[in-house]
């Protein structure tokens, strides 16, 4: 109504059933207005702050894209040095604090951030304060920000690089009396978590990761998990633990309190343990110790479910983990925390709420609004509930997606008039990704614009507007969701809650009849029936909408296309024990694919001996129906079954045929990871597997072939030829198991058709064996036969199955296979052969579709090997060998090098051999990759004395013998583009020393030149945290001479043998070499050890230690290194000695000169010996990664090769 002037009148009457069809004034009882939802109803005090370590930069990175180390609730943002709640390190950390800022009064507000270093503040999705950069404590403010009363989304990011740490947040506005003051705790909130809980805590096990100081278990991959009702475990009572020592466990869940008040918590453990509550460490019982209990201070808790994490590591000896409390819920008595209060987040089946089949795919229901329903009281977020919160009978359910991956995920929307739209999530599309973050994690966005994310219309019509804008934000009292074309018109394909326009609500939505709310997918008026009125009056409820999701982009039947029938089974010989060992850690002898697990005496396919063997079968168990299943293993002797990494059947120990079963296991429809292990000690051998459940009509039956699958081999890059390994002086009439032997060298052969003297690169004519492996590529499907001709014995395996047996000592003789049906593709092939003496022959033929059914030599085009995937870095890796030189270069691959250095190129002359330790009587072997273009190349070696060059396993240059500087070359070698294996050997007897390598070919413009550093690479070694720490113990007999020969007069008699690191002989000068055998090994995170603090040392005096690994640098530049030791110490970097702190002395420091290092990993070795008295070993550095300060080298910079 509008009043222009004069009298003003507005009266409302009606006539109808409620008035007896009389025209009357509409009574008060019939007039209502919608009550705004209470935005604070689902909020609780404090902001959620996530911590990130070693991610700090001057410009605060995108913390939302990183995984936090842990979370804590903070009441206010006003932190200074040492006052950051529960931070785990004082420098090099970032924090992101998120929540809601609650304002009571409308008006303009200003915000201020003071920080050291950089910080940012976002309000309702908009950056309002930018205080970025590396700086001391500095404050920046925002302009005026107009806010209405209510809860506003707030995010504060901050990074601390080093020095002081500060983060303070202030405001000025109506709620502060327009004074600039600290933002009070009363106005900072976060959303209450909504839980769907089940009994017990989830405990994950980690093996061989234990340390005295419990490591960050959250960063490690668990071996398996189990649900435990309570934390009160003692010796042998850790549920489902797989070993008694050297394990850690992390137990997570919720602690439910009923009464408000102060609580204390206690952990007893052997060895170390930690307890976190709501992200804060409350009990620290760390260290190696016997059963010890430590407690927390008072912790004030409100009624509710509190996040709890308990970590524990067992090093050796007894194992204990007990958890107690004292507080209101225990009558203020110290008691075991009861089962009733320990919970974990419940796993809800994805099809809990029903499914719909569309175009051959099954979609799971997760969100719905039933047409005609009332807007639910207190619901202020259309994606406010976690999956599993709703009940099947609810009329309205505003749930987010369950735990699903974004890749291949689909969203299906169906409205009450039958329209069906389908979207495919896409992480590379910013709009689609923002939608996933909203549906999965409840992450809001004020407005995300990007590439169109258009639905596929399965039924109905769709707006013509490009769907390139997404909004999920607080709008007029409801956190609403809208996908449309420009954030401000009618062309929306999915709208839940209020309609939105830019930063507000637009009355013009009424022009196209959209009321917002639960949308009918297409908002064009021709779809009809949207209702009437302004879009800003509240969410519409006259439409119905249901949302579904589908994982993986394919149904189970489609997924099985990527699987082969049967389980992959591997055999292990002479490893059997009554208790089945960890077969996964052993090297198998042979492999076979089995269609089912139902074997007894003499019926184990392809087994090589009847007793003293183990078998491990792995793959997938495919279930068609959801429900409870039981599993049964019958075996002679022990057997174990794992399902989805959980041990479900334990039939271990030495026994005759015996069956054991599992408890009920609830399985969804689909694939389940399966592993079955069994060992046979002697006597009968049996392994049979049954199950009972929905797929069997609840009858106990043999698990059928159709339910057992294994993954198809992943596509690999192949290149020509088979890889053939040679083994010398190992030959027998019956070809031995070559897979268990160490080869002398390897060569690539184009085909298997070799006769006397034609075995490529063989080093002796008799008493050798060869194993050639790779892929046999077939083009046509059909039956094939295979033939091996050999002198002496030979064997052929195809896809893990022995197909030709031509074993025994004999002259040239051929044996063939039965028919083998092969599909087109690459098939795994292994051929073994041994030559005892006399003639040597090895020929391979076939007959089948690819040979026109003629018996012919298998052509080179059908024989391939897997192309190695290389992670390369500059230079060749050169090993040095001392006092081993001969006129004919010996087999250096069979010797142990004294040390290693990375060299950029092979072009060395007198005195220029990098880090060589003596000028005569040495050899060197340099290995790596030669990177080339395609074409013919020639190679040249100049040396004094002898040298050899091998390329891709073939000797191409022979410049052997004792001589002065002399050059020899190769013939033409055709090379394809890529990285080729190169080995160059050289020995220097005496006099001058020279070693130069040249080439001529496409990469040199066909000129003869030095092979440049850019073409020479070596494989980068994978690394793990910490350095390997070794000590040595020699055999008594003859050890005096061994050490004296190696180290001259530097040997001091040290008394009787002792079980220590390096006992029996102690060196006055540190100089021990690889001839010493370490007494024990330990991984140390850093080198900063003093009296009594050398990890795992077995005696306090008369020991040496060698620590090896990689030093990781992040920045390029000059570094200096320092060792402090008592007594002597040495440090080598990339094979070069850089610190010499040798001799018998007290604690003393020595340093290096400047060493220029690029970012990356560098080989590091540090040696130290302790004669007696105090023992000290510390390592420091100064350079770009330490801000040019001299500091302890941090643990994060030290790694070792696994």
766-776: pLDDT as tens digits: 999 999 999 99
Q: Does residue 517 have a pLDDT over 70?
A: no
Give the CATH number of domain 718-866. 2.60.120.1560
Locate all alpha helices (DSSP H) within 467-562, ordered by sequence.
556-559
CB-based burial, 359-369: b 16+ in 10 Å, e otherwise: eebbbbbbbbb
* pLDDT score at 489: 57
- Residue 835's pLDDT band (boundaries 50, 70, 90)? very high
Residue 536 has pLDDT above 80, yes or no: no
Contact between 582 and 735 under an 8 Å Cβ cutoff? The reply is no
CATH of domain 1024-1200: 2.60.120.1560
Q: Where do the domains of the chain lie?
A: 43-191, 197-345, 355-550, 571-711, 718-866, 872-1018, 1024-1200
Could you give the CA distance from residue 57 to residue 133 in angstroms, rounded to a whole number?
A: 8
pLDDT at 1029: 56
1166-1175 confidence digits (pLDDT tens): 999 988 877 8
Mean pLDDT of 266-282: 92
The stretch 263-271 carries a mean pLDDT of 95
DSSP per residue, 825-854: EEEEEEEEEEE-SS--EEEEEEESGGGTT-
Rounded to whole angstroms, how far apart are CA atoms 90 and 101?
28
Copy the structure tokens of residue 496. Answer: 């839940």
Cα 95 to Cα 90: distance, rounded to the nearest angstrom: 12
The secondary structure of the chain in percent helix, strand, coil, rounded to multiples of 5, reads 10, 45, 45
Whole-angstrom distance, CA of residue 1072 vs CA of residue 1170:
13
Is residue 1054 within 8 Å of 1065, Cβ to Cβ? Answer: yes
SS (H, E, C) 732-763: CCCCCCHHHCCCCEEEEECCCEECCCCCCCCC
Neighbours of 974 (CB within 10 A): 9
Region 974-983: mean pLDDT is 88
CATH of 571-711, one of 1.10.760.10, 1.10.1200.10, 3.30.499.10, 3.90.182.10: 3.90.182.10
Residue 1006 banded pLDDT, cuts 50, 70, 90: very high
Q: How confident is the model at residue 1036 (pLDDT cuts 50, 70, 90)?
A: very low
Tens of pLDDT, residue by residue over 301-333, are: 888 889 899 999 999 888 999 999 999 999 999
Q: How confident is the model at residue 673 (pLDDT cuts 50, 70, 90)?
A: very high
**What are the structure tokens assigned to 1008, written together?**
């003869």
The chain-wide mean pLDDT, for the chain, equals 84
Question: Does the pLDDT at position 513 exceed 80?
Answer: no
Predicted confidence (pLDDT) per residue in 106-131, tens digit:
999 999 999 999 999 999 888 999 99
CATH 2.60.120.1560 corresponds to the domain 197-345:
yes
- In whole angstroms, give the CA distance from residue 964 to residue 1093: 54
> What was the pLDDT predicted at 909?
87
Poorest-confidence range of 40-54, 70-84, 647-661, 785-799?
40-54
Task: Give residue-wise pLDDT tens across range 134-143.
Answer: 999 999 999 9
714 or 711, greater pLDDT: 711
pLDDT cut 90: percent of the chain above it = 47
What are the C-alpha distances in Å from 86 to residues 70, 278, 284, 307, 520? 9, 11, 12, 15, 48
Checking if the pLDDT of 806 tops 50, the result is yes
pLDDT at 505: 53
Q: What is the mean pLDDT of residues 695-714?
A: 85
The lowest-confidence range among 54-58, 386-390, 1113-1117, 1198-1202 is 1198-1202
CA atoms within 13 A on the CB side of 1154: 7
Cα 224–Cα 226–Cα 229 angle in degrees, nearest 5: 160
How far are the Cα atoms of 892, 946, 1161 from residue 897, in angstroms, in the given order? 8, 18, 21
Q: What is the mean pLDDT of residues 528-538?
A: 42
Burial class (CB in 10 A: 0-12, 13-18, 19+), 712: exposed
Q: Is the peptide bond before 332 cis (omega within 30 degrees of 0)?
A: no
Cα(705)–Cα(148) distance, integer angstroms: 66
pLDDT tens, position by position, 840-872 = 999 999 999 999 999 999 999 999 998 776 778
CATH fold match for the domains 43-191 and 571-711: no
Q: Can you read off the two tokens belonging to residue 44?
A: 């609780």
pLDDT, residue 462, reads 66
Domain 43-191 has CATH 2.60.120.1560: yes
601-635 per-position pLDDT tens digit: 778 988 888 899 999 999 999 998 888 899 999 99
Which of 426-430, 507-511, 1019-1023 is least confident?
A: 507-511
* Per-residue pLDDT at 1111: 93
- Average pLDDT of the residues in 472-486: 80
Task: Indicate the DSSP class of residue 217.
Answer: G
Identify the pLDDT of residue 851.
Answer: 94
- Report the predicted TM-score, pTM, of the whole model to 2 decimal places: 0.39
In CATH, what is the architecture of 872-1018? Sandwich (2.60)
CA angle 849, 853, 854 (to 5 degrees): 135
């Amino acid at each position: 109504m509008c009043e222009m002037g004069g009298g003003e009148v507005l009266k409302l009457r009606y006539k109808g059933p409620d008035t007896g069809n009389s025209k009357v004034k509409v009574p008060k009882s019939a007039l209502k207005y919608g009550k705004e939802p209470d935005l604070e109803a689902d909020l609780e005090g404090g902001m959620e702050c996530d911590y990130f370590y070693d991610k700090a930069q001057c410009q605060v990175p995108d913390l939302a894209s990183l995984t936090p180390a842990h979370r804590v609730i903070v009441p206010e943002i006003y932190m200074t040095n040492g006052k950051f709640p529960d931070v785990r390190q004082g420098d090099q950390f970032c924090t992101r604090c998120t929540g809601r800022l609650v304002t009571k009064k409308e008006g303009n507000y200003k915000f201020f951030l003071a920080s050291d270093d950089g910080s940012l503040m976002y309000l309702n999705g908009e950056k309002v304060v930018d205080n970025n950069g590396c700086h001391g404590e500095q404050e920046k403010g925002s302009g005026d920000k107009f806010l209405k009363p209510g809860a506003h989304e707030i995010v504060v990011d901050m990074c601390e690089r080093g020095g002081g740490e500060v983060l303070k947040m202030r405001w000025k506005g109506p709620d502060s009396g327009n004074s600039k003051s600290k933002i009070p705790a009363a106005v900072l909130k976060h959303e209450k978590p909504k839980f769907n809980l089940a009994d017990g805590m989830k405990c994950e096990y980690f093996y061989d990761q234990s340390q005295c100081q419990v490591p960050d278990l959250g960063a490690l991959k668990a071996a398996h998990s189990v649900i435990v009702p309570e934390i009160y475990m003692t010796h042998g009572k850790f549920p489902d633990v797989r070993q008694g020592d050297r394990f850690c466990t992390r137990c997570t869940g919720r602690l439910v309190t009923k009464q408000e008040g102060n609580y204390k918590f206690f952990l007893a453990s052997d060895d170390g343990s930690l307890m976190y509550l709501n992200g804060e460490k409350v009990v620290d019982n760390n260290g190696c110790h016997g059963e010890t209990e430590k407690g927390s201070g008072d912790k004030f808790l409100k009624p509710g479910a509190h996040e709890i994490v308990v970590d524990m590591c067992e090093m050796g000896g007894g194992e204990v983990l007990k958890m107690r409390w004292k507080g209101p819920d225990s009558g203020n008595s110290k008691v075991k925390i009861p089962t009733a209060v320990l919970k974990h987040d419940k796993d809800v089946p994805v099809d809990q709420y029903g499914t719909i089949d569309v175009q051959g795919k099954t979609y799971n229901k997760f969100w719905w609004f039933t047409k005609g329903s009332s807007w639910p009281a207190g619901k202020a977020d259309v994606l406010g509930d976690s999956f599993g919160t709703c009940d099947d009978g609810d009329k309205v359910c505003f749930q987010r997606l369950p735990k699903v991956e974004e890749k291949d995920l689909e969203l299906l929307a169906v409205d009450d008039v039958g329209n069906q739209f389908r979207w495919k999530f896409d992480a590379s599309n910013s709009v689609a990704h923002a939608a996933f973050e909203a549906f999965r994690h409840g992450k809001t966005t004020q407005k995300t614009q990007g590439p169109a994310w258009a639905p596929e219309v399965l039924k109905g019509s769709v707006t013509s507007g490009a769907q390139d804008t997404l909004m999920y934000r607080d709008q007029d009292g409801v956190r609403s969701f809208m996908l449309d074309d420009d954030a401000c018109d009618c062309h929306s394909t999915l709208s839940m809650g209020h309609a939105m326009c830019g930063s507000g609500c637009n009355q013009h939505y009424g022009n196209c009849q959209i009321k917002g709310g639960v949308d009918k997918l297409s908002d064009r008026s021709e779809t009809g029936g949207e209702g009437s009125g302004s879009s800003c009056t509240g969410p519409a409820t006259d439409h119905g909408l249901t949302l579904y999701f589908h994982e993986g982009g394919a149904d189970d039947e489609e997924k099985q296309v990527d699987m082969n029938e049967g389980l992959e089974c591997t055999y292990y010989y002479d490893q059997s024990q009554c208790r089945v060992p960890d077969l996964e850690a052993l090297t198998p002898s042979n492999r076979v694919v089995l269609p089912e697990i139902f074997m007894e005496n003499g019926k184990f396919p392809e087994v090589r001996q009847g007793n003293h063997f183990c078998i491990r079968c792995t793959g997938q168990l495919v279930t068609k129906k959801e429900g409870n299943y039981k599993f049964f293993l019958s075996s002679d002797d022990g057997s174990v079954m794992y399902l989805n990494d959980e041990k479900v059947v334990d039939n271990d120990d030495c026994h005759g045929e015996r069956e054991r079963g599992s408890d009920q296991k609830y399985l969804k429809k689909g694939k389940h990871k399966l592993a079955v292990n069994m060992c046979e000690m002697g006597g009968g051998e049996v392994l049979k597997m049954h199950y009972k459940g929905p797929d069997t009509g609840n009858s106990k039956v043999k698990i059928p072939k159709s339910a057992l699958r294994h993954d198809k081999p992943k596509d690999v890059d192949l290149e020509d030829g088979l890889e053939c390994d040679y083994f010398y002086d190992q030959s027998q009439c019956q070809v031995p198991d070559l897979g268990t032997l160490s080869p002398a060298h390897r060569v690539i052969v184009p085909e298997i058709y070799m006769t006397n003297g034609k075995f490529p690169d063989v080093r002796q004519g008799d008493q050798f064996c060869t194993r050639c492996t790779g892929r046999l590529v077939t083009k046509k499907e059909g039956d094939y036969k295979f033939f091996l001709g050999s002198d002496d014995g030979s064997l052929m395996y195809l896809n893990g199955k022995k197909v030709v047996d031509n074993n025994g000592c004999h002259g040239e003789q051929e044996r063939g296979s039965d028919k083998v049906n092969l599909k087109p593709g690459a098939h795994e092939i292994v051929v073994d052969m041994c030559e005892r003496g006399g003639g040597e022959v090895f020929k391979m033929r076939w007959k089948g579709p690819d040979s026109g059914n003629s018996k012919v030599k298998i052509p080179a085009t059908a024989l391939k090997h897997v192309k190695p995937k290389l992670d390369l870095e500059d230079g060749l890796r050169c090993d040095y060998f001392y006092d081993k030189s001969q006129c004919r270069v010996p087999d250096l691959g069979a010797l142990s090098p004294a040390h290693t250095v990375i060299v950029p190129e092979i072009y060395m002359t007198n005195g220029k051999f990098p880090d060589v330790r003596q000028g005569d009587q040495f050899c060197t072997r340099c290995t790596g990759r030669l990177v080339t273009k395609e074409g013919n190349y020639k190679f040249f070696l100049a040396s004094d004395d002898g040298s050899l060059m091998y390329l891709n396993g073939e000797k191409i240059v022979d410049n052997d013998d004792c001589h002065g500087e002399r050059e020899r070359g190769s013939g033409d070698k055709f090379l394809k583009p890529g990285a080729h294996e190169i080995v160059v050997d050289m020995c220097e007897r005496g006099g001058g020393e020279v070693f130069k390598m040249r080439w001529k070919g496409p990469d040199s413009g066909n000129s003869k030149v030095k092979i440049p550093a850019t073409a020479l690479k070596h494989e980068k070694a994978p690394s793990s945290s910490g350095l390997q720490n070794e000590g040595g113990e020699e055999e008594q007999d003859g050890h005096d001479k061994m050490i004296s020969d190696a180290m001259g007069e530097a040997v001091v008699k040290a008394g009787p043998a002792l079980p220590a690191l390096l006992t029996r002989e102690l060196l006055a000068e540190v100089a021990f070499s690889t001839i010493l055998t370490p007494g024990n090994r330990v991984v140390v995170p850093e080198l900063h050890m003093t009296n009594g603090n050398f990890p795992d040392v077995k005696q306090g005096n008369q020991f040496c230690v060698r620590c090896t690994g990689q030093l990781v640098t992040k920045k390029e530049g000059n570094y200096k290194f320092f060792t402090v030791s008592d007594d002597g110490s040495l440090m080598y970097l990339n094979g070069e000695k850089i610190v010499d702190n040798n001799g018998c002395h007290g604690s003393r420091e020595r340093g290096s000169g400047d060493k220029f290092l690029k970012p990356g990993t560098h080989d590091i070795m540090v040696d130290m010996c302790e004669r007696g008295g105090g023992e000290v070993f510390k390592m420091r550095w100064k350079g770009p990664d330490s801000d040019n300060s001299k500091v302890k080298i941090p643990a994060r910079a030290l790694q070792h090769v696994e």
